[in-house]
Homo-oligomer: A and B are copies of this chain.
Amino acid sequence: MKRSDCEALDRADPLAKKRKAFSIPEGMIYLDGNSLGVLPVNVPLRVAEVAQKQWGQTLIKSWNEHGWFHMPRRIGDRLARLIGAPPDSVIAGDTISVNLFKLLGAAAKLNPSRRVILSDSGNFPSDLYVAQGFRDLLDDGYVLKVVEPEQVMDAIDETIAFTMITEVDYRTASLHDMKAVTARAHAMGALTIWDLAHSAGATPVDLAGSNADFALGCTYKYLNGGPGAPAFLYVRPDLQDKVQPALSGWWGHAAPFSFDLEYRPAPGIIRNQCGTQPILSMAALEAALDVWDDVDMGVLREKSMALCKTFIDLVELRCGPHGVTVAGPRDMAQRGSHVSLHHPQGYAVMQALIASHVIGDFRAPDMIRFGFTPLYTSFADVWGAVDVLVRILDGREWDQPQFLARKAVT
């Protein structure tokens, strides 16, 4: 494989035209969109409009006139299409950790006779922390059982109240089989909570087809909603009116402006709202979703797999002698859209990459991680990143003016 092969892949890429919708710094190869997506070019103007015109001029009336109050459900419906969910089943707001807590409460109350929460060691640690806090707050016999990712299926038995699993492993990119795990859970009388942090916008999630009970995710990675952008949660439609909200704030009340003293949950997904949401960040997210409305998730998946495969192939071809190994499955169909590499000097190598304007991240103890975001990552980016990595590992990067070094290879 040569650089020209990557350029040819870019010319044939049906998503290549999307790149111009994003603001990508000149000379940078940004492979950290799995941590913080780049800025969509339409976002600053939208945020300025919401701040200066809506907040500044229309003030309090904007809650109705500019639809602020309904933003979480409007955004939820647009997210729904990307994760295989029907309308009125997704709501945006709060953080992924807070939404997880809500769903832990919902799942626990729907399976009240059981006390084991099943998760795996590949889950993002914060999810485990939230479950530990939930367990300790309730102090009612809940046990958090954490197994290895490959043991999940076998560990689902009739003691499990619900599973709490991140579909795509944040380290290895290994993809759980949502449909199979959910079917197994249901057969054993358990419910499922799916964290889509590394799935939404990266892989074609099929919540409805998998019959998943609950899901949640963030929007600041592949969906480019901005730093700390509001998260989302999903509840399967037939469960929605059975959910007893753990975080029962006025935005989830059936009549929030009647100011009753008693909580009465709104019908449907709305009851999963809690407090007033940050509208400027919400507006940025809403604008960021514009680019997604005509994206075919199947086409996205094809490109994602091709980007990952190209990267892995190039790394093995060119970096193998340097002690670099690829984490996670080799079958692209069993992976999400990032690739982690083990290297004994992973931290130093990533710092050198960043110094040369190839941006990925490091995950302890020895992983360097690269996210491939199909809407704006090009195959030429993949070539360029590996080229710099090779130069670093070969000891040939140090004598180059760093920025020029990067420019020279792109």
Report A196 CB to chain B, min CB distance, Å. 15
CA distance A62 to B52 in the complex (A): 25
Q: How large is the interface on A (under 10, 10 to 19, 20 to 34, 35 or more residues)?
A: 35 or more
Which B residues are CB-close (under 8 A) to A44? 48, 51-52, 56
**Contact between B39 and A52, CB atoms less than 8 A apart:** yes
Chain A 123-146 residues near chain B, CB threshold 8 A? 124-126, 128-130, 132-134, 136-140, 146
CA distance A30 to B60 in the complex (A): 10
Binds B, one of A157-165, A228-236, A290-298, A318-326: A228-236
Residue on B nearest A123 in the bound complex, by CB = B261
Which B residues are CB-close (under 8 A) to A154? none
Q: Which of B39, B246, B247, B259 contacts A125 (CB 8 A)?
A: B259
Report A364 CB to chain B, min CB distance, Å. 6
CA distance A124 to B260 in the complex (A): 10
Which B residues are CB-close (under 8 A) to A36? 55, 59-60, 63
**Contact between A129 and B248, CB atoms less than 8 A apart:** yes
Task: Indicate with 1 or 0, residue by residue over A236-271, a CB within 8 angstroms of chain B CB atoms.
Answer: 000000001111111111000111111100000000
Given contacts A94-B95, A226-B278, A227-B280, list 19 more A-B pairs with CB under 8 A.
A28-B59, A36-B63, A47-B51, A59-B359, A68-B227, A96-B276, A97-B249, A97-B274, A125-B261, A126-B250, A129-B248, A129-B252, A130-B247, A130-B249, A133-B263, A136-B248, A140-B140, A278-B280, A278-B281
Give 5 A-B contacts (CB < 8 Å), ordered by A residue: A98-B98, A132-B263, A133-B246, A138-B140, A259-B364
